[in-house]
Amino acid sequence: MTLTIGPHVSIARGYTQAGKDAVSVGANTFQFFTRNPRGGSVKALDPKDVEGLRQIMTAHAFGPLLAHAPYTLNMASATEKTRDFARQAFREDLKRLEQLPCSLYNFHPGSHVGQGSETGIHLILDILNSQMWEEQQTTVLLEAMAGKGSEVGRNFGELAAIIGGARFPEHVGVCLDTCHLFSAGYDIAGDLDGVLEDFDRQVGLDKLKALHLNDSMTPFESHKDRHEKLGQGSIGMEAFQAIVTHPALAGKPFFLETPQKAFGDYALEIQKLRDFSKNTV
């Protein structure tokens, strides 16, 4: 099975160019921000630009793309103004993504800022359940978090609670970030099988729709989100070899968010992971 893998790509020069950039590093998918990562408005879609991306995706057998919501989108905030922005941006992004050949939309569940995770989950569900609809084509992904501060989504139980309370659970899934998992206390380096079995018990592997591949600058259970190049952090390259060749993860799309000096450097990581996949019996 061909590995579906790609980096985070800027769409500043359009979606067609983003597709070309992904192909240039050997990718067959990519992640992009729906808008400035710190928030802000978006310009209207250019149908020709979108069609150009569709053609690239067809020609190079792309897997699903992963749209990433801005970091400022905090559905669990105690501040009504912040939640209003989250509601508006979420709604606008979902409607926009229906016009793109994407299918996956990832967001950080948010921070409850002292209200408690139960209240945070309730606030997240209030927005999800009021803005999603039955016929939508995009699957919304909750990103598993490292557990810093008052983050919601720091463990599989919280992710399961959000999915369990969703009005349209068939349109909600999970994106697992390797750096976040390791920092949260899930030992993917020493017990990948156990972590995946735990996820399957609490959430269900059928809900795992994408993975972010990032090494970690900080040690196990640090509860910090500091990405490192693959093999140069505390997780180590052996763990990433195990991840991209694990039977339970076969066919899942992988996305790189590792720090690189130049965009072209992603080609080295992608080729390394493809070599692991090809050598699997």
Which active-site residues does the annotation give? 38, 68, 71, 108, 143, 177, 180, 212, 225, 227, 257
DSSP codes of every residue in 12-53: TT-HHHHHHHHHHTT-S--EEESS-TT----PPP-HHHHHHH
Encode burial over 29-48: b for 16+ CB neighbours within 10 A, e otherwise.
bbbbbbbeeeeeeeeeeeee
φ/ψ bin of 131: left (φ > 0), alpha (ψ from -120 to 50), beta (otherwise): alpha
Q: What are phi and psi of 99, to 5 degrees?
A: -95, -5
DSSP codes of every residue in 103-119: EEEEE---B-TTS-HHH
Number of Cβ within 10 Å of residue 57's Cβ equals 22
CA distances in angstroms from 39 to 36, 93, 96, 142, 171, listed in the order given: 5, 12, 15, 18, 24
- The helix, strand and coil proportions of the chain, stated in percent and rounded to the nearest 5, come to 40, 15, 45
Is residue 182 within 8 Å of residue 217, measured between CB atoms?
Answer: no
Single-letter amino acid, residue 20: K
Is residue 38 within 8 Å of residue 75, measured between CB atoms?
Answer: no
Q: How many residues does the chain have?
A: 281
